[in-house]
Amino acid sequence: MNEQRIEVKVSPPGGRLDRIIASSIAEVSRNRLQKLIRAGRLLVDGEVVIKPAYALEGGEIISLVIPAVRDSSIKSEPIPLNIVFENADILVINKNPGIVVHPSPGHASGTIVNAVLAHAPEIQGVGGERRPGIVHRLDKGTSGILVVAKNDASHQFLQAQFMNRSVHKTYIALVDGIPKTRVGLIEAGIGRSRRDRKKMAVLPPGQGREAISQYATLEQFTAHTLLQIQPLTGRTHQIRVHLAFIHAPVVGDRVYGKRKPSVPIKRQFLHASAIELLVPGEESTQTFRAPLPKDLEDVLSMLRSITS
């Protein structure tokens, strides 16, 4: 996108600055506009305003310069992608385990973002330079459905659905042990662990961020249970932390579960099997699915043979 210079006259009764300007520039995400405001790139009647929530009364003249998107330091890499669905607005991927979603310390390359930039270069800069197109994440060891926005408008549209919790995600997990009930709801706030800041943990009531997960038993073995989980909120490591909290940690999860896997597996048994959301431009929701990968199916076949 080239540099844009925009001037808007505010109609009565006014309102929040970021909302007024966002309604005038639909192709740029509200999140990016807020960053531009805080960076001092917006004038109200000739005066710099850096508060996105600044109250307008109507009649003011807003002037904004949207700089051209800078070239990202993230490089494209021809990494194969398992594409489930694609149109001009979104890309739905069946993520393989062992690959990180976006560059981070220790993972400067070889990520989903690097692969997506090679497949769809127009995603560069969408929603920010560090995580172009990313609206949600999966852990490195988790496989399954991942949705990527291909432009700012769809990025904003998808982010809004995640924020208002209208996106429905379904995961499959094999856990060590047997939960006390075949169906359950876990409501336990999550935050940084006080013992290890690299980990998340369930915190005492009133602390941490609200986190809710519901689960149902799909299959039960002698010492393991196959669960279907639907996270109703989207906290970091939520499913793994919640299942460990009810003493049914994900098999192969060396961070929150057993250090040595109880079955022959090289990663955590956690798979994002489906996601239901509204695709930009559509009137009804769509569900995208990813079958259980072979390595996880092999584990289940082994357990079934032992149980029978």
Rg (CA), the chain: 22
Distances (CA, A) of 11 to 7, 21, 59, 68, 232: 13, 12, 6, 28, 38
Q: What angle do CA 158, 161, 165 make, to 5 degrees?
A: 145
- From the number of C-beta atoms within 10 Å of its C-beta (0-12, 13-18, 19+), residue 204 rates as exposed
Dist. CA 275–CA 261, nearest whole Å: 28
Residue the block writes with tokens 């995208």: 288
Alpha-carbon dihedral of residues 180, 250, 103, 81, nearest 10 degrees?
Answer: -110
Cross-strand bridge partners of residue 225: 175, 220
Which residues have a Cβ under 8 Å from the Cβ of 32 and sit 6 or more positions away? Answer: 127, 128, 152
Q: Is 139 a catalytic residue?
A: yes
What are the structure tokens assigned to 224, written together? 């393991």
What are the structure tokens assigned to 215, written together? 């689960």
Residue in 139, 152, 176, 253 annotated catalytic: 139
Residues 136, 149 contacting (CB under 8 angstroms): no
- Would you say how long the chain is, in residues? 308
Dist. CA 188–CA 237, nearest whole Å: 13
Which residues have a Cβ under 8 Å from the Cβ of 178 and sit 6 or more positions away? Answer: 220, 223, 224, 225, 248
143: closest CA among 173, 186, 177, 102?
173
Q: Which residues are catalytic?
A: 139
